[in-house]
Structure 1
């Protein structure tokens, strides 16, 4: 059961995978309106696409444990899209779509099954094969090292990210990846979404590794401390990132000529009213939600308001740690889906026992709620985020590594709503770039219909439908795949004309094919 104070964060995390259906960006444009070299791609992650969870030496990750406990409607990624066996077929679909780049993650449990120690030769072979297949077809690999899936053995042994011991183990894992794959991989993301990972996994317990404590989150979490562990997890994530980045720069970067960054989940944030309290609360929400991760990377320390509100529960960086973290990214990866309005709730600070939401001291009034079709989604929220990063953080190089629309999973391939969403948010990125944002790439989420966090196989983000009732898990292009392909080939996209031109290509029901 969830406490009232945790409820708003449950809604936020639901919005992680929930986005509405109608667009308001009608401008026509083509990929050539973006700067030369601007990268367009799409993405997946290891547990969500690979399957083969017990094959060739792979051991369970915290994703496996969480899913097998039944927390995602009884669904698991045991098979998922079977990308482990069907990677060549999927790369061919990427070629046909025309992707410049493919973002995927490496399963730590597949590459180093016990979290440390010997490398699994079968896992090594799989990722080499995948990377080689991409390179052969001219598709850039953009690789994430951690996507909510450290080995369960490390969680059982010392608590995973709540222990400083993980810094050494993560760095050793990262070094294997740099050494084995770095001659072909130029873009590395160390950790995906530390901010929402820590809130979901260590405060309200709605995602792996499902640690929390009363009165916050799930009352049946078996371990954890919602008041302190989210901050401890992010602290150790930042130290791990800095350690891996230092190693990469000192040993590999000069030879491999690659770049290293980290991903941050972002929200468009606006005050609910123009009152001073709500305006200040919106700035505070930005500091807590974004600055929590980005401030240390740019300035070497957490935001002052976090230090004030969280107090001794917020870990401190030593001067050496601060020096190593500051400037440890060559780029930032941003994950963005939605915008929310903020109302001040400073009254929460009077409570002695608080979690992240109470420390932030705001009410999260959310606008983009899935199913509320009468409420337009807000692509300008992404423009706002990019302007914020330009103004507050010195305009770092940015890749939009996730952006897309959730729909219910079904066999209808006419996902015109997804096309409207992507076209609108691409237009928002273009607006930001024209206004000076150093955004260098845009990746849709997701390439295939995947196993999704919180929803399993009940929802869909993919350009390609995967027929789970087919033993061969056959893939079928949706309307959005055709639309994206046309865009990537240089055609001018404008919603009305493009929908009329392409819509006939995606009317087939795959179960009748």
Structure 2
């Protein structure tokens, strides 16, 4: 591993901060999800008084950030991949910025600087002002482009001297999988799959334009900063060695490459027309859009990595899967074990993903998320013995080392998800724990909120100190 390798952790504002309606923050899309991204969605765009919302409390980072950052420093991390809550800066997405929100992040960044921890900031991480969904319908509306640009300019201008790395959108390829979280797209039962596809990919087009504007703005005004795109690295294996299955694998991987190809190369890939035509989509591209996209070539690629997929069989077969099922890896791989939540565990797949991306683009790659959600048991003497988490992370870091040291992949860094326990995006449970730091809350918000170092805390500290030489 390179000497300047960025070891760190990763979190998201909506899952960690809490204080969902304090100091002027407006409600966000995440704030109305009581059952997570994979569960039941509310029938109306509002908070129901009879429901419990774990995102509203999160891990209470908003009030405990100094304590938490001190623990991050004790763990030895060199960088912290985090996000800014858009609705904390612009409560309704419009109007003037919220001074209290800016003050909070300014305090967080200064606290990180005190410990020489480098922030890597995502501008939009499965969270946006709820009012922009109610008023404009989310990212399917072009109005979002200018509003996002205003938000991005506000925080970049304010924090450019404190934040050297920026990411435009979290897991942008999931706008076609969980469109409400990734794009603020709200569908009812009356809309056809074709209409949903049109909204999702038109929303993605608007995000391409807006994200490219951010890259262009930063390059012209703050050339010392770096801007990256991010995708969920859900690459696939062919279901068999049949030629049709090999072709299906190519199409599966294009569901990720469609996004990285556009952000890295500055134009839509040649296969975009056929890719979209199969989904019944014709994009509405206005004058200047493609020129703007061409100006927004990113400096690095960030990806989350949790699982791999098996490519679907021929769509003419009854076993053909929907986009959502394909993206979430519903075809099981008989060669891999699964986690407590049914996600396949595939460390070698991380090496493959890194090589696929680097062979294609030769840009630095940040592993922006990688971790294991599991039930942790607090022992009578206040310990958490999470050997399973250490084993998971070690197996994946081994493959990162191979990709870097043997394959020559330029791996910028590794930020494990999530360093500290937070609310799971998919299930809205804090009991689905990812952190090396235990947070004493249960799924109903009961507990002290105390922070307890797990065994994996000390293990990760040694990994960072040795630059993974002991693996």
What is the alpha-carbon root mean square deviation over aligned residues?
Answer: 3.1
**Change over 3 Å in CA distance of 1:189–1:492 after alignment to 2:** closer
The counterpart of 2:262, out of the listed 284, 293, 296, is 296
Contact 1:343 1:363 in 2 (8 A): no
- Contact (CA 8 Å) 1:347, 1:361: kept in 2 or not? no
Report the alpha carbon displacement of residue 362 of structure 1 after superposing the two structures with TM.
12
Q: 2:95 corresponds to which residue?
A: 117
Change (3 A) 1:143 1:420: same
Q: 1:347 aligns with which of 316, 332, 338?
A: 316
Query: Which segment drifts farther, 360-369 or 439-448?
Result: 360-369
Instruction: Give the distance between the partners of 1:345 and 1:281, measured in 2 at CA.
Output: 7
Residue 303 of structure 1: CA displacement? Answer: 3.9
| In 2: Cα distance, 1:215 partner to 1:273 partner | 35
Q: Distance in 1 between matches of 2:182 and 2:170?
A: 17
**1:377 positional shift:** 2.5
Partners of 2:378 and 2:188 in 1: CA distance? 37
- 1:424 and 2:389 matched: no
Q: Does 1:447 align with 2:419?
A: yes
Q: CA deviation at 1:428?
A: 0.9
Structure 2 runs not aligned, ≥5 long: 42-50
Per mean C-alpha deviation after superposition, the further-off stretch among 171-180 and 190-199 is 190-199
> Aligned to 2:34, what secondary structure does the other structure show?
helix
User: Does structure 2 retain, via aligned residues, the 8 Å contact 1:148–1:197?
Assistant: no
Displacement of 1:365: 1.9
Secondary structure, aligned partner of 1:37: coil
Runs of 4+ in 1 over 6 A off after TM superposition: 205-208, 360-363, 372-376
Structure 2 partner of 1:438? 410
* Cα distance, 1:487 vs structure 2: 1.3
CA distance in 1, matches of 2:467, 2:98: 44
Which structure's relative contact order is higher, taking Cα pairs within 8 Å and 6+ residues apart?
1
Name the SS of the counterpart of 1:313 in structure 2: coil
Q: CA deviation at 1:60?
A: 0.1
| In the alignment, structure 1 residue 195 sits paired with structure 2 residue 176 | no
The 8 Å contact of residues 127 and 182 in structure 2, kept in 1 or not, is answered as no
Is there any run of 5+ residues in structure 1 with no aligned partner, and where? Answer: 1-33, 218-223, 496-513
Deviation of the 1:230 alpha carbon: 1.7
C-alpha change, 1:492 and 1:329, in structure 2 (3 Å) is closer
Does the alignment pair 1:95 with 2:73?
A: yes
- Distance (whole Å) between structure 2 residues aligned to residue 183 and residue 74 of structure 1: 39
How far is 1:83 from its partner? 0.5
2:204 maps to what in 1?
Answer: 234
Shift of 1:198: 3.4
Which residue of structure 2 aligns with residue 126 of structure 1? 104
Aligned to 2:24: 57
Q: Shift of the alpha carbon at 1:483?
A: 0.4
Which residue does 2:462 correspond to in 1? Answer: 486
Per the TM alignment, residue 294 of structure 1 is displaced from its structure 2 partner at its CA by 1.0
TM-score, length of structure 2 as denominator length:
0.86
Query: How many angstroms does 1:53 deviate by?
Result: 0.9
Distance 2:167 2:328 in 1: 30
8 Å contact kept, 2:337–2:344: no
String of CA shifts for 1:374-432, please: whole Å, max 9, x gaps. Answer: 9983211111111111222x211111000011112543611111111111111111111
The offset of 1:345, in angstroms, is 1.9
Alignment CA distance shift 1:216-1:482 (3 Å)? farther
User: Which of 303, 320, 329 is matched with 2:298 structurally?
Assistant: 329
Q: Is contact 1:266-1:336 (8 Å) kept?
A: yes
1:366 pairs with 2:332: yes
Choose which of 60, 64, 71 in structure 2 pairs with 1:86: 64
SS in 1 for 2:106: helix
Aligned counterpart, 2:131: 153
Deviations along 1:28-68, whole A, 9 cap, x unmatched? xxxxxx11211000011111111111111001011112238
Q: Distance in 2 between matches of 1:488 and 1:494?
A: 10
TM-aligned CA distance change 1:310 to 1:481, over 3 Å: same
CA contact under 8 A between 1:71 and 1:454: conserved in structure 2?
A: no
- Displacement of 1:491 after TM fit? 7.3
2:46 matched to which residue of 1? none
Q: Describe the SS at the equivalent of 1:52.
A: coil
For residues 62-73 of structure 1, what are the structure 2 equivalents within 5 Å?
62-67=29-34, 71=40
Alpha-carbon shift at residue 199 of structure 1 (Å): 1.6
Give the C-alpha shift of residue 116 in structure 1: 2.0
The superposition leaves residues 258-278 of structure 1 with CA deviations (integer Å, 9 ceiling, x where unpaired) of 111121101231111111111
Aligned to 2:441: 468
Pick from 122, 127, 145: which aligns with 1:167?
145
Aligned residue for 2:421, secondary structure, equals coil
